[in-house]
Amino acid sequence: MATMHDVPLLITSENSSSERRITPAWTISQLKARLEPITGVPANCQKLNLKIASQASQPIEGHNEDTIQLSQWPLQPYAEIHVVDTRPPGMRPNYTDVSAVEHYELPKDEYENRKDTVLAFKKAQKLGRFDPNAPNIEQQKIDQTFREVEQGNVKVNARCRLLPDTDHRRGRVAYIGEIPEIPGVGAWVGIALDEPTGKNDGCAKETRYFECAPKHGVFVRADRVEVGDFPALDEFADDDDDEF
């Protein structure tokens, strides 16, 4: 049983981290014996370091660890004792690597028939794909993207710029609609850019949606398109008329 003299400390090692109550009257050997099942490091292969706040680490060691008590060190609540494994790296078991552990996978039909699974809960609560209104929810998402197109007054052949306008990309709206080749449902806006700063030539994989020169095409959502009187940028627009 813990006494009022026990001190809560953080015990850390390469494979573990936990809070434990330590009795200052324990010897170093007694502490190491108790740390072995916690850290997996054999007592005779442990090197202990005490870390208090921002102070330098102090080794917990002595010539006769069977008699030296922990009270000789300034144990403070929630200080850290770090356990170093002195064995060669090849002899240290890695308890965090589960790649070699054989996994059991429940057969699909058995999982679907169980009553204590997440799947059973979703079925009972009519969540996700088990929601009878799920198709309507998906359609609502599609409809919302087209409403964003309408709200932005985005129309084919309208001049526009891409937001944010940090790189000053302008062009012409060349396509509005769904594109099965691109992940995400709903309306996409195809832009024929003035400069070769795009990602395509109006094609998504093997399907052509509009015509433009290579690297002049891009597909974006309506919220990235601002329609307006945005003429093509003239890089010489700031030059004086009498300079050539």
Q: What is the pLDDT of residue 241?
A: 42
- Residue type at 28 in one-letter notation: I
- CA-to-CA distance for 179 and 191, rounded, in angstroms? 14
Query: At 139, is the pLDDT very low, low, confident or very high (cuts 50, 70, 90)?
Result: confident
Going by pLDDT thresholds of 50, 70 and 90, the confidence category of residue 130 is confident
122: pLDDT strictly greater than 90: no
Q: Is residue 185 part of a domain?
A: yes
100 found inside a domain: no
Q: What does the pLDDT read at residue 182?
A: 85
80 and 139 inside one domain: no
Q: Which CATH number fits the domain that encloses residue 60?
A: 3.10.20.90
User: DSSP class of residue 243?
Assistant: -
Task: Report d(CA 204, CA 189) in Å as an integer.
Answer: 12
Residue 47, phi then psi, degrees to nearest 5: -125, 120
> Over the chain, what is the mean pLDDT?
87
115 in a structural domain: no
Domain extent at residue 38: 7-91
Q: Are 187 and 177 in contact (CB under 8 A)?
A: yes
Rounded to whole angstroms, the maximal C-alpha distance in the chain is 96
β-strands 80-85, 7-12 pairing:
parallel
| Candidate ranges 3-7, 95-99, 122-126, 172-176; pick with highest mean pLDDT | 172-176
**Segment 133-156 mean pLDDT:** 84
Of 91, 122, 152, the position where a domain reaches its end is 91
Residue 2 lies in a domain: no
Mean pLDDT of 37-47: 93
Tell me what pLDDT residue 1 has.
44
Contact 20, 8 (CB under 8 A): yes
Q: 210 in a domain, yes or no?
A: yes
The string of DSSP codes covering 50-102 is EE-TTSPPEEE--S-TTT-BGGGS---TT-EEEEEE-S-GGGS--TT--TTSP
Q: Which residues of 133-168 are buried (b: 16+ CB within 10 A; e: fewer)?
A: eeeeeeeeeeeebeebbeebebeeebbbbbeeeeee
Give the pLDDT band of residue 98 (cuts 50, 70, 90).
low
Residue 240 has pLDDT above 70, yes or no: no
- Indicate the residue among 59, 91, 123 that finishes a domain: 91
Query: Are residue 180 and residue 234 in the same domain, yes or no?
Result: yes
Phi, psi dihedrals of residue 139, rounded to the nearest 5°: -65, -35
pTM of the shown model: 0.44
Average pLDDT value for residue range 200-207: 93
Q: Is the pLDDT at 158 greater than 50, yes or no?
A: yes
141 and 210 in a single domain? The answer is: yes
Do 72 and 144 lie in a common domain?
no
Q: Judge whether 99 lies within some domain.
A: no
Is 44 domain-assigned? yes
pLDDT of residue 64: 94
Q: Which of 91, 121, 147 is the last residue of a domain?
A: 91
68/150 same-domain check: no
Position 238 pLDDT exceeds 60: no
Q: Do 152 and 239 have their domain in common?
A: yes
| pLDDT at res. 244 | 34
Residue 95 pLDDT greater than 70, yes or no? no
108 in a structural domain: no
The total number of structural domains that make up the chain = 2
* Residue owning tokens 């001049």: 159
Percentage of the residues of the chain whose pLDDT score is greater than 90: 59
Do residues 157 and 71 share a domain?
Answer: no
The rounded Cα 193 to chain-centroid distance in angstroms is 33
* CATH of residue 171: 2.30.30.190
73 and 161 co-located in one domain: no
**Whether pLDDT at 35 is above 50:** yes
The answer to whether the beta carbons of residues 43 and 18 sit under 8 Å apart is no
Higher-confidence position of 111 and 212: 212
Q: What pLDDT is recorded for position 2? A: 44
List alpha helices for the chain, DSSP H.
28-39, 108-113, 118-125, 134-151
In this prediction, residue 10 carries a pLDDT of 94
pLDDT for residue 222 is more than 70: yes
